[in-house]
Structure 1
Amino acid sequence: MPRPRKFVESEVVRSAREVFAVHGLAAATLDDLVRATGLGKQSLYNAFGGKRELFLRALSEDREEATRAVSEALGHDDASPLERIRGHMLLMAIEFSSSDRRVSLTTRALVESTGEDDPLSTTPKAGIEQLAGTYAQCLEHARENGDLPADANVQSLAFYFVAVTRGMELLGRAGVGRSVLTAVALDALRVLHGRRMEEAVEEADDGPSTRE
């Protein structure tokens, strides 16, 4: 009979995620993974099928975690939809400017993918669509509240937010500071929502609205 596994797969994947976040798929070595996970090379192969398969497993978990984080940030009912998006963008500026912030595996995978049919491309694409769907829900609520024009293209705006936040991530990785990333976030909001967004921001800064 085969011996029972003496490790927790989720913990191994979590450790591997750290390695891949630092090195990427191509540059990460099996020795790096062995040191991080505490498993031997053969055990890694037996459990996950190889380095690439382990990366894809880590990528899927990274994607789900990112989607949950955005959903939680935009899902609170104690603020208007636009206030939630604004707070989320400002938080991203802080996180992406952190010196110990790791590049997401989604970004790593897109850089290293070889084409549209490569799982390194298709898996991140699914994650991007999930993120866009989360933004779209919040933007739709904003439109229903009258904070966005009735003819606003919620779907394209949702992907716009994904593009801006992924760009902020890369800028932060390149060493761009928090003040610049904050300005990028606020400028993106102003360009996106125009006067209506600026009014919402002013109301959020000044306190509860006094309008009837």
Structure 2
Amino acid sequence: MGRPKQFDPDHAVEQAMEVFWRKGYAGTTPQDLVDALGIGKGSLYNTFGSKHGLYERALRRYRDSQAAALVGMIEEPGSVKERLRNVLTYLVEADLADPHRRGCMAVNAAAELAGTDEVATELVRRMLDRTEGAFSALIDEGRRSGEIAPGRDAAALGSLLLTTVVGLRLMARVAEGPDRLTRTIDALLDSL
């Protein structure tokens, strides 16, 4: 009979997500993970199979927490433009307040691994598709309520919003302050 695990795998995934988010996949060593999780390498590999297996679980955890929170904000009551402003402003403020300036783990994964890691690419693609779909649905709601012109293409505007979010999250990693990012949000909302 084997010994019971001396750690909580869910907590370990949460801790690993923080390490991967800060250092990236390639920049994270197995020793970094062992140190952050407080477990031995044997436990790491026995539980998660590999560094990559743990990274996949960390990306899924990010998707479940961060992307779900974003979609939840999009679905809150209020005017469409007010909700969009709230979401975009929240992302900018959160990114600028982060002392590590990690940005978005999904965007970071796309920049680092797209085209070389099929699993990570597909996970990120699904996260972005979900976010874009939520934006398109919100635009469609705005068209029905008259807040957005009925002739506007909800799918195209959903893509524009997603691309803007990706750019904002990337720019926030190097921004000296919120001015440029706030101007972008204002211009985008004025264009709707």
Range of TM-score over shorter length: over 0.9
Task: Indicate the residue corresponding to 1:164 in structure 2.
Answer: 164
- Once the two structures are TM-superposed, the CA of residue 81 in structure 1 deviates from its matched residue by 1.6
Task: Indicate the residue corresponding to 1:119 in structure 2.
Answer: 119
* Letter of the 1:147 counterpart: E
TM-score, structure 2 normalization: 0.92
Q: Show structure 1 runs of 4+ deviating over 6 A.
A: none
% identical equivalent positions: 28
Task: Indicate the residue corresponding to 1:18 in structure 2.
Answer: 18
- State the aligned residue count: 191
Residue 87 to residue 117, structure 1, CA distance change in 2 (3 Å): same
Long gaps (5+) in structure 2: none
Task: Indicate the residue corresponding to 1:89 in structure 2.
Answer: 88
Long gaps (5+) in structure 1: 194-212
- 1:1-212 aligned at under 5 Å gives the runs 1-77=1-77, 79-100=78-99, 101-115=101-115, 118-191=118-191, 193=192
TM-score, structure 1 normalization: 0.84
SS at match of 1:27: coil
- Once the two structures are TM-superposed, the CA of residue 115 in structure 1 deviates from its matched residue by 1.6
1:13-64 per-position Cα deviation (integer Å, ceiling 9, x unaligned)? 1100111111100110111101100111111111111111111110111112
- Once the two structures are TM-superposed, the CA of residue 66 in structure 1 deviates from its matched residue by 2.0
Cα-Cα RMSD: 1.6
Residue 190 to residue 97, structure 1, CA distance change in 2 (3 Å): same
Residue 116 to residue 151, structure 1, CA distance change in 2 (3 Å): farther
* Letter of the 1:84 counterpart: R
Structure exhibiting the larger radius of gyration computed from Cα positions: 1
1:168-205 per-position Cα deviation (integer Å, ceiling 9, x unaligned)? 111111234112211111112122x1xxxxxxxxxxxx
Preserved CA contact (<8 Å) 2:103 2:172: no
* Letter of the 1:143 counterpart: R
Say which is worse superposed, 84-93 or 97-106, in terms of deviation. 97-106
Structure 2 CA distance for aligned equivalents of residues 148 and 164 of structure 1? 18
